[in-house]
Structure 1
Amino acid sequence: MIIPLSLLSLFALLGLGLLASPYPYLAPGAVLGLAGALALYRRPAWGLLAIAALVPLEGLLKDSLLSGAKLIGIGLALILALQMAVRQLPGERLQSTHWRLLVPFMALYLLSFWTTDSQVLSTGHLREFIVGLVVFVLTLLIGRDLNLPMLARIVTVSACVTCLFAIFSTKYQEQGRASAMLDPNSFAMLITIATPLGLWLAIKSRQIPVKLFWAACCLLLLAGMTKTESRSGLVVLLISLGIVLYNYREQVAHVRPRHLGFAMLGLALLLPLTAAVMPAGYVERIQSLVLLKSGVNAHKDESLGRRASYLVVGKEMISDSPLLGTGPGTFPLHYAQTGFSKAFSPVNSKPTDLYRRAHNTYLEIFSETGLPAGLLFVGMIALALRNFWKARAAWLEAGNHDQADMMTHLTMSMMAIGLFLMFLSAPTHKYLWLMLALSSVVWRQASEARALGVKA
């Protein structure tokens, strides 16, 4: 009770100070801050859930100097640091299988930062990277208290709300493609992360109305994917759906012939409807993937040609600086110095349009921080997938099939992130670092449950 009372006194003094100041209208903010601080102190997991809920809405709040996610993150970090200082939170929670890869990665990252070709770009990149590291540490500390079904609900609903804005408002579209004030591919990545969680909710819900609600959310996410016109998103989504069918293959095998007939009828109605409502531009973009059989032709598909140019520039950067790279965040600088930047820039473009990111996180990491750091980064993602899958096996041994299925869907979401990083520059994405930390947490929990089951 000492800490909550000290917080109460602090905010009371702050409120009185604001009332006596030239800005008395800010005093109610101190009351709201007090309520939020006490809520986070008693239920830190709520703060992490709030951060996860706000990620799909970041595009709507990107113009604000201090967003809700930043306020919650800063407050949560301070509260958890205070709880660890007074030993209310055990330091053992910081244990993770990722530290053995993350520590050397950060050492190489800082060495690359020290030898960077552009201190300004690298400083901005480091600032964003610190946010990801903070989310990683917060998830390690709070993960054991996190309600995974609630996390699935929040991520799914938040992504669906963003889909509604992006589908029905041209303000949240970019040249006809749904973007939700983000890059269309970034929005597609959010959808591919949320869809496996929405499918888990639809499959595991026992009440028919609730099951239908989550099924409708999944359909809305699919509709949002078509509006993004993201080819990479479609590929990742199909892979995820294939994993779902494989995971539930035993249940599918027990479907009766009459139920199979209804399923076939549903597909016969759904597929033509999907083809009819799918944007013509999306169909053309999907058909353009056939061009890859005969090589990339920039005249037929400028997007594919531009991505091929990123690979050429990245290869040259790696050849010039294989050990430490050219510095975090410096890929746009090197790309702007090539002829590709002018060749693929739009007519009447601004000078800033020449500075393009690689749209490939792995390529950026390898070229900007060097081959050793790139291998460590890839290893962290592979380790997260391994942790989720080992957690699934452990829950199966413990006899908890529902938790095992949850691990399967979390694996799909993590795989969606890992695959999408090949098409998107997002090394500091909050969901990436949340899932990296969560993989260690669920693996420890599953191991403990398996040990208890064996003892029993």
Structure 2
Amino acid sequence: MIVPLSIISLLGLACLALLASPYPFLAPGAVLGLVGVAVLYRKPGWGLLGIAALVPFEGLFKDNAFSGTKFFGLALALILMLQLAVHQIPATRLRSNIWRPLIGFMLLYGLSMLLTENMDLSMTHFRELSVGLILFGITLLIGRELNLDMFCRLVTLSVTATCVLAMFSAKYQDQGRASGLLEDPNAFALLIAFTVPLALLLIVRGPYLLYRLFWGGCLVLLLGGMTKTESRSGLVVLLLSLIIGLYHYRAQLPRIRPRHLGFAMLGLALMVPLAVAVLPAGYVARIQSLSILSAGANAHKDESLGRRASYIVVGSQMIRENPVLGAGPGTFPLHYAPTGYAKAFSANRKLGDLYRRAHNTYLEIFSEIGIPGGLMFVGMLGLGLYNLMHARQLWLQRRDWAQADLLTHLGMSFLSLTLFLMFLSAPNHKLLWIMLALTSVLRYEAEQGAPRETQP
């Protein structure tokens, strides 16, 4: 108890200092911080749950120097370092097969920074990426105590809440497209695509009808939010992940009786026309525009597809010019802005329209860090997917269907993240690094053969 007492003493001194300062009204905040740190010291997994649940609400704190996620992150980092120092947490928990490609990626990242074309942009990029790296280490240390059922519930509820806000308030829309509390509708669609498999898991595991109906309602709101984003990439990723989920449950098909099939066909006959009728006309037009891909992206027919094609052209040129170490982290906008594409696709010639990111994490990494660094990054994500597949197979061999279902749905969510990175620049996404570390934790538990206990 020496460590928590020292923290209490420091925060007590901070309260006294605030009371004696010109800002005594901040003292209650220090008291709340004291209580929060004490709780996190005993239950660090709650802090990680808080970070995951607050990801959809980060837009509320974008202009603040301090936010809920920052508090949880800093508090957890401090607490876990102290617990490691006094051996309350074994350092062996940091073991992961993802460290090798991650260390290789960071070494190449550092070399690329040394030769970068713009150190300010590279340092900003590194600060953003460092948040994900810290979360990776935190999740490795406390992932074994993480209540995954609660993780699914909190993430589903938080994303569903932002879907409700986005669907029924123009304040949370961007030119008619739902963006929630985020700036980009595609970033919001990523969260929804990540959450839908978790909501499905809660429905499948529902112990009684009302429980399933509640999470079924959340699923409907999530799907409504996805249509409101008008994200074509979100729809494609969501359909792919759902197909994988159906493949997992194929063994249950013999349980379907002819009368069940009849009800299912009747439901589809009613739902499909209803879905087409309620879909926004703009979303239907955007989906139909995908048909022009067979003839190549034409900016005159679809400006969005033409803009994405221009990112590929510029990124490919950057890779040819600097194939080994790239142009430097965060420098893609510097190469895109002087091109004719930036001027052609800019509506108002503002800096934000001219200096655009690649909207493709893989393209951005390969062009800014180089081909070796890009391969390391892809290798990390591929290894994470393999960890989940391997763990799922082990539980299937032990005929533990509940654990196998859990791994399947988490794998669907992680796959949604990795696929969505092809349509969004988000190498520092918090859920990406949490899930990446969690794949190692879940594989370790499967190899040890000890299923985590389901907590209420």
Identify the residue that residue 454 of structure 2 maps to in structure 1: none
Contact 1:298 1:305 in 2 (8 A): yes
* Residue type at the aligned position of 1:314: G
Q: Separation in 2 of the partners of 1:333 and 1:394?
A: 47
Alignment partner of 1:248: what SS? helix
Q: Aligned partners of 1:352, 1:29: CA distance in 2, in Å?
A: 36
1:454 aligns to what?
none
1:129 paired residue number? 129
Report the number of matched residues.
450
Aligned-pair RMSD on alpha carbons? Answer: 1.2
Is 2:200 the counterpart of 1:199?
yes
Give the superposition deviation at 1:104. Answer: 0.8
Query: Quick one: distance in 1 between partners of 2:175 and 2:254?
Result: 44
Distance 1:351 1:240 in 2: 36
Q: TM-score, normalised by structure 2?
A: 0.97
Partner of 1:87, secondary structure, is coil
Cα distance, 1:349 vs. partner? 2.4
Q: 2:38 is matched with which residue?
A: 38
Asked if the contact 1:361/1:427 (under 8 Å) is kept, the reply is yes
Instruction: Tell me, yes or no, if structure 1 residue 294 matches structure 2 residue 295.
Output: yes
Structure 1 partner of 2:185:
184
Structure 1: gaps spanning 5 or more residues: 452-456
2:138 maps to which residue?
138
The corresponding residue for 1:48 is 48
Match of 2:366 in 1: 366
Inter-partner Cα distance in structure 1 for 2:183 and 2:392: 33
| Per-residue Cα deviation, 1:177-223 (whole angstroms, up to 9, x for no partner) | 00013200000000000000110110111211001111111111100
The answer (yes or no) to whether the contact 1:166–1:224 under 8 Å persists in 2 is yes
Instruction: Provide structure 2 residue ranges, at least 5 long, that are not aligned to the other structure.
Output: 452-456
- The superposition leaves residues 343-373 of structure 1 with CA deviations (integer Å, 9 ceiling, x where unpaired) of 1111x32134210111100000000000000
Measured in 2, the distance between the counterparts of 1:19 and 1:365 equals: 48
Q: Percent identical across equivalent pairs?
A: 62
Hey, what does 1:306 align to over in structure 2?
Answer: 307
Question: With structure 1 as the length reference, what TM-score do the two structures score?
Answer: 0.97
Matches within 5 A, 1:68-217: 68-180=68-180, 181-217=182-218
Does structure 2 conserve the Cα–Cα contact (< 8 Å) formed by 1:398 and 1:450?
A: no
Aligned match of 1:57 = 57
Distance in 1 (CA, whole Å) between partners of 2:9 and 2:357 is 48
User: Which deviates the most, 229-238 or 248-257?
Assistant: 248-257
Q: Could you list the per-position Cα deviations for residues 21-70 of structure 1 after superposition, in whole angstroms to 9, with x for gaps in the alignment?
A: 33222221121011000011000000000000011111232122211101
* Counterpart contact for 1:132–1:430, Cα < 8 Å: yes
Whether 1:399 and 2:404 are equivalent positions in the alignment is: no
The answer (yes or no) to whether the contact 1:310–1:358 under 8 Å persists in 2 is yes
Q: Answer yes or no: is 1:66 the counterpart of 2:66.
A: yes
For the Cα contact (< 8 Å) 2:343–2:349, is it kept in 1? Answer: no
* Alpha-carbon shift at residue 280 of structure 1 (Å): 0.2
- Distance of 1:7 and 1:127 partners within structure 2: 27
Once the two structures are TM-superposed, the CA of residue 12 in structure 1 deviates from its matched residue by: 2.1
Within 1, Cα distance between the matches of 2:422 and 2:351?
26
C-alpha separation between the residues in 1 aligned to 2:33 and 2:344?
A: 51
Q: Is the 8 A contact 2:40 2:47 kept in 1?
A: yes
Aligned position for 1:424? 424
The alpha-carbon deviation at position 450 of structure 1 amounts to 7.0
**One-letter amino acid of the structure 1 residue matched with residue 299 of structure 2:** A
Structure 2: distance between partners of 1:125 and 1:268 = 49
Q: Report the Cα offset of residue 267 of structure 1.
A: 1.4
Q: Which amino acid aligns with 2:374?
A: G
Q: CA deviation at 1:9?
A: 2.1
> Contact conserved, 1:193 with 1:416, CA < 8 A, in 2?
yes
Distance in 2 (alpha carbons) for counterparts of 1:352 and 1:252: 51
Distance 1:260 1:206 in 2: 24
Q: 1:227 is matched with which residue?
A: 228
Which AA in structure 1 matches 2:410?
Answer: L
The 2-side partners of 1:418 and 1:21 are apart by 48
Aligned-partner Cα distance in 2 for 1:362–1:328: 13
Q: Name the structure 2 match of 1:255.
A: 256
Deviations 1:95-149 (A, max 9, x none): 0010010001000001001100111111110010000101101100110110111
**Distance in 2 between the 1:258 and 1:234 partners?**
31
Deviation at 1:396, TM superposition (A): 1.7
- Cα distance between partner residues in 1 of 2:90 and 2:6: 22
Matched residue, 2:340: 339
CA distance in structure 1 between the partners assigned to 2:167 and 2:296 by the alignment: 33
| Per-residue Cα deviation, 1:232-270 (whole angstroms, up to 9, x for no partner) | 000001111111111111213311111221222221221
CA distance in 2 between counterparts of 1:309 and 1:88 reads 52
CA distances 1:400-435 after superposition (whole Å, capped 9, x unpaired): 210111101111111101110111101110111111
Larger deviation, residues 388-397 vs 38-47? 388-397
Q: Distance in 2 between matches of 1:25 and 1:286?
A: 53
Distance 1:263 1:182 in 2: 38
Distance 2:223 2:418 in 1: 20
Q: Work out whether 1:264 is the aligned partner of 2:265.
A: yes
Contact 1:128–1:428 at 8 Å: present in 2 too?
Answer: yes
Per the TM alignment, residue 17 of structure 1 is displaced from its structure 2 partner at its CA by: 2.5
Match of 1:408 in 2: 408
Q: Distance in 1 between matches of 2:351 and 2:255?
A: 61
The answer to whether 1:273 aligns with 2:274 is yes
